[in-house]
Amino acid sequence: MKLRIRRVPLDTLRENVAVLSASCTALRPESFQAFKRLEIVHDDRVLIASLDVTHDLSLVAPDQIGLTDPAFCRLGLPEGAEVSISPARRPQSLSAVGQKISGGALSGLQIGEIVRDIAAHRYSDMEIVAFLVGCAGFMTSQEVLDLTRAMANAGTTLHWPSPMIVDKHCIGGIPGNRTSMIVVPIVAAHGLSIPKTSSRAITSPAGTADTMEVLANVDLSVAEMRKVVEACKGCLVWGGHVNLSPVDDILIGVERPLNLDTREQMVASIMSKKLAAGSTHLLIDVPIGPTAKIRNGSEALKLRKLFEYVSDQIGLKVEVVVTDGSRPVGRGVGPVLEARDVMAVLRNDVAAPSDLREKSLRLAGLLIDQDPAVRGGAGYHRAEALLASGAALAAMERIIEAQGRPRATPALGALQADILAPSDGVVLSTDCLRISQLARLAGAPIARGAGLDLFRQVGDRVEKGEPLFRIYAAEPSHYDLALAAAREENGFALGVTNGENV
Amino acid sequence: MKLRIRRVPLDTLRENVAVLSASCTALRPESFQAFKRLEIVHDDRVLIASLDVTHDLSLVAPDQIGLTDPAFCRLGLPEGAEVSISPARRPQSLSAVGQKISGGALSGLQIGEIVRDIAAHRYSDMEIVAFLVGCAGFMTSQEVLDLTRAMANAGTTLHWPSPMIVDKHCIGGIPGNRTSMIVVPIVAAHGLSIPKTSSRAITSPAGTADTMEVLANVDLSVAEMRKVVEACKGCLVWGGHVNLSPVDDILIGVERPLNLDTREQMVASIMSKKLAAGSTHLLIDVPIGPTAKIRNGSEALKLRKLFEYVSDQIGLKVEVVVTDGSRPVGRGVGPVLEARDVMAVLRNDVAAPSDLREKSLRLAGLLIDQDPAVRGGAGYHRAEALLASGAALAAMERIIEAQGRPRATPALGALQADILAPSDGVVLSTDCLRISQLARLAGAPIARGAGLDLFRQVGDRVEKGEPLFRIYAAEPSHYDLALAAAREENGFALGVTNGENV
């Protein structure tokens, strides 16, 4: 018996959800409840969806099947089209997930099947969590390698004419820290190909794609991206249209809300994206700090070893560089504010944040050092020269022009409030997590002009009543939330110079 | 800013789901997307819900918040009531879940907090999976004990006037096997108190509550249950109204669809229910077989040891009995067919299934042996005498009368088909999993009269074309599914007597 498709206007994110009427004519929904998964078939199209039930005939009638937004879009049939349904068979690869959960190591074949099933949206969110948490127990280096390869193969893979494709990646977690937008124009100005794809923020106040979007269009297709790189040597685009390692995006969407963050997943995630992107030389920025993802040197060392193992096996040259992750980099936190800092550095403004400038030069220098034509150790000076001469700024302008300028430049949030020092003292530390939270509460990254502008850094002396930072928000509800949260805990620890808290 | 409640007529099972309009006036839904969890507050009521977004103003308007069935019922406010929302703070106990995932052992305090948060519906389904899979890696005996205690304390705990409260439990997985409905009246007729609460089927074709419901009302409150036990010494009711270890039900609802089934969870699940039920003496039936939950003696031994450790610590006398789990018990599979078998045994019908009778007598005998007044080893004969004399049948009739007879007795499914032996031979084995699947496809347990009637057992000789079993279904769609599946694979392996497959 057939059911007609009805769109149910609900965005259930990743998960395919179907809705049956409690008095469905094709099959009793109760029969599915234990499994909650059903298979929707139309000719050779098959979609697996989780099941909700409704008693409201106006939402879904007994001879209809409701499909929420992601399910409707993925099936790609019009409303009214006829489909048949049956209880979904468990994806066979779930038995390998069970094996992983009970402590087994999986073969490359098994990991490949799991990744293919996830890519085809055959796993429920709960099944994805089961896989990820099972892997969080332990993964062998071989499993990490197999997962990297399988994820890279599950999407687009890019190939470039140039034999040397450099890239940089930061494992994240540090507010500000928009070095990519300075490193890419410097390296491109030097003459190396650096086609950078970035993500939008998921749990941070801005991703590189969000910040770049303040200055230029970042929604480029693969063909458009190629043109930009051909013309400018570099680009700074959103990875969403490029479809590199799409399973990585699915996994991240599940990991983030659960705070699942293992070394193994991180390596597979980053390396699968870079492998698919056709990179040959990769620089990985690993900030260490008490509120960063990596808390100490021994964790960083383990991470570096795993990156090196996987990259050696897949034939990608990787250099891991450990940086200071104890404090935000730059002054702005949030897309518009960060874009301001980036352009200040590129323009050689005297007021440009020196920490952002220094870190970007260091990273760019290390990438330029990879160029066989450059004398060993000369990379930093070359980077500095390209920045000082305006060549990097010119490269950035070319990239912006090639990607397309935005129709309107987003403005800073109109609602502003300064958070003041409660006492005299010296800034002993700043809590990166808290700074990020406050910027998000203020509305970043969705509100481009929202975020924090930091006036003080670790080591600065402040007097009672002087502003530590300014909150920018575009909407009263965000403004209220951020202000209340900042008054509760602003992330700045003040003390006297001998380190004793005041 | 306040939002007005609107009911969204969707049954999302366990999970609280809230729906905001994409143009919600209180807070931009995008701000929540990364976390997908929000807190809904009205005076001192707080509900945590996952978030979906809609673009359809007729479903949820910008100044409304949609609540799906479970969320609406749990919040307990009328439509139009005003609530405020904010991003949900992560339950603090989730950091303990993270610790478990990375291989730590949790303290009793941490496990207590996790269980309380799950009981209060503060965990999303995905967070519950993370906890369960984290535990599936390993759990110390102490953790199992702590989990048992925490779960038992999270719901109703029953106290009985009698100092000796016996109970039996089967770990499940064997079709038919409705021994409780025979053991309870025998033991009650003997004079021991046996207040049995049972579950409805989740993934099996019938739970004891489903089968008992064919004969009597099983939806009893605690007070009603007490009355029945006072009058009859025993009862056979559904545990749903009694609220024993409700967290166990939540965990099972997540474990089953994922096929998560660890020894540790099983022990904590069963023991928490029995501890809350006020049992003092418990008999646990552990069937062993190639398609049962426990596959061999060494697994059974580990399970027994864990049951014994936990029961010793909580002061409950437990006996684990290993039984034959290689084949179905009784002939009927599905509520009406199983109830028929049970009553045939109690009535001492010559045609009653002897395996069901024998197993029930063995279990009842072991329970009666716990009675200090009974001479050691005399339990089995006492059970046999109570069954043969009709005392057990009379006890069952009293229990049925006290619980209340159903308004109408459900009929056997009208759609019937025999599955025939494809060749001459001997039944070498029957696949319990397949038999259960086929009965479920036929509509059991929702369709009470659906299921399988097994005509042949392991060891029986059949001729080509003789019926192996009959499928009963109430609806054409179920009938078609079950018949097609049975024709593909009927679960019976036929061979010649020397064991060679034909």
Q: Decide which of A296 and A202 is more confident.
A: A296
- The pair phi, psi for residue B105, each rounded to 5°, is -100, 140
**Between A391-403 and A180-190, two packed helices, what is the crossing angle to 10 degrees?**
100
Closest residue of B to A9, CA-based? Answer: B54
CA-only gyration radius of chain B, Å = 25
Distance CA B39, CA B122 (A): 10
Dihedral pair phi/psi, residue A203, rounded to 5°: -115, 0
The 10s digit of each residue's pLDDT in A328-359 is 999 999 999 999 999 999 999 999 999 999 99
Q: Is A285 helix (H, G, I), strand (E, B) or coil?
A: strand
Of the pLDDT bands very low, low, confident and very high (cuts 50, 70, 90), residue B32 is low
User: In the predicted model, is pLDDT for residue A492 greater than 70?
Assistant: yes
Check: CB of residue B155 under 8 Å from CB of residue B121. Answer: no
The per-residue pLDDT for range A152-198, each reduced to its tens digit, is: 999 999 999 999 999 999 998 899 999 999 999 999 999 999 999 99
Of all residues in chain B, the percent with pLDDT exceeding 90 is: 81
Q: Which residues of A does the annotation mark as catalytic? A: 261
For the whole model, what pTM was predicted? 0.88
CA-based max dimension of chain B: 78
- Whether B257 sits inside 8 A of A36 (CB atoms) is yes
The yes/no answer on whether domain A3-87 falls in CATH 2.40.40.20 is yes
**What is the rounded distance in angstroms from the CA atom of residue A392 to the CA atom of residue A233?**
12
The answer for A154, left when phi > 0, alpha when psi is -120 to 50, beta otherwise, is alpha
Q: What is the mean pLDDT of chain A?
A: 93
- Please check whether residue B185 is in contact with residue B346, taking contact to mean a CB–CB distance below 8 angstroms: yes
Contact residues, chain B, for A137 at CB < 8 Å = 101, 103, 134, 137
- The 3 state secondary structure assigned to B421-432 is CCCCEEEEEECH
User: What pLDDT, in 10s, does the model give residues B360-390?
Assistant: 999 999 999 999 999 989 999 999 999 999 9
Q: How far is B117 from B94, CA to CA, in rounded Å?
A: 9
The whole-number pLDDT of residue B31 equals 62
Other residues' Cβ atoms within 10 Å of the Cβ of residue B73: 11
Q: What pLDDT, on the 0 to 100 scale, is given for residue A172?
A: 85
Chain A interface disruption, residue of B1, B50, B101, most A CBs within 10 A = B101
Look at domain A166-403 and name its CATH class: alpha beta
What pLDDT is stored for residue B29 in this prediction? Answer: 64
- Provide the 8-state DSSP code for A498: T
Of A387, A64, A328, which is closest to residue A178 (Cα–Cα)?
A: A328
Is B423 within 8 Å of chain A by CB? Answer: no
Q: How far is it, in rounded angstroms, from Cα A260 to Cα B494?
A: 49
Cβ pair B31:A443 closer than 8 A:
yes
Peptide bond into A445 cis (omega under 30): yes
In chain B, ranges of CATH 3.40.1030.10 domains: 166-245+255-403
pLDDT confidence bin for A241, thresholds 50/70/90: confident
What one-letter code names the amino acid at B413? G
pLDDT, mean of residues B201-226: 94
Distance from CA of B199 to the nearest CA of A (A): 14
Total number of residues shown for chain A: 502
Confidence of residue B220 (pLDDT cuts 50, 70, 90): very high
Structure tokens, A278: 């056709």
Q: What is the pLDDT of residue B236?
A: 98
Give first-to-last CA distance, chain B, whole Å: 74
The whole-number pLDDT of residue B291 equals 85
Q: What is the pLDDT of residue B37?
A: 84
CA angle (B413 as vertex; B410, B416 as ends), nearest 5: 160
Contacting residues of A for B27, CB less than 8 Å apart: 477-478
Residues of chain A with CATH 3.90.1170.30: 415-495
CA distance linking residue A219 with residue A390, whole number of Å: 27
Reported confidence tier of residue A498, pLDDT bands at 50, 70, 90: low
CATH architecture label of B415-495: Alpha-Beta Complex (3.90)
Q: Tens of pLDDT along A404-433? A: 999 998 999 999 999 999 999 999 999 999
DSSP labels for A229-265?
A: HHHHSEEEEEGGGTTSSHHHHHHHHHHHHHT---HHH
CB neighbour list of residue A389: distance below 8 Å, 6 or more residues apart: none
Residues 310-349 of A with CB under 8 A from B: none
Q: What's the average model confidence in pLDDT over A263-286?
A: 96
Residues 6+ apart with CB under 8 A from A316: A271, A274, A275, A279, A280, A281, A282
In the set B63, B69, B261, B324, the catalytic residue is B261
**Complex-level ipTM beyond the 0.90 threshold:** no
Tell me if chain B has a CB within 8 Å of the CB of A436.
no
The boundaries of every CATH 3.40.1030.10 domain in chain A are: 166-403
Nearest to B11 among A53, A101, A201 (CB): A53
DSSP secondary structure, A264-282, as one string: HHHHHHHHHHHHHTT-SEE
The H-assigned helical ranges of B425-469 are: 432-441
Give contacts of B 69-108 with A, CB under 8 A: 86, 90, 94, 98, 101-103
Helical segments of A104-236, H only: 108-119, 125-137, 141-153, 180-190, 208-215, 222-232
A433 touches chain B (CB under 8 A): no
Distance from CA of B339 to the nearest CA of A (A): 21
User: In chain A, which among 457-476 make CB contacts under 8 A with chain B?
Assistant: 475
The pLDDT of residue A104: 93
Residue B460 CA, distance from chain mean position: 32
A309 pLDDT band, cuts 50/70/90, is very high
CB A168 within 8 A of CB A359: no
User: In sequence order, which residues have a C-beta less than 8 Å from that of residue B499 and are 6 or more positions away?
Assistant: B428
Mean pLDDT of the region A200-208: 88
Helix axes A354-368, A180-190, angle to 10 degrees: 40
Q: Does domain B166-245+255-403 have CATH number 3.40.1030.10?
A: yes
Of B59, B94, B475, the CB nearest to A9: B59
| Every domain range in chain B assigned CATH 2.40.40.20 | 3-87
Residues 6+ away with beta carbon under 8 Å from A301:
none
Length of chain B: 502
**pLDDT for res A502:** 42
Task: Say whether B28 and A446 touch across the interface (CB within 8 A).
Answer: yes
Share of chain A above pLDDT 90, in %: 81
Residue with tokens 């028929």: B340
* Other C-beta atoms lying within 10 Å of the C-beta of residue B351: 8
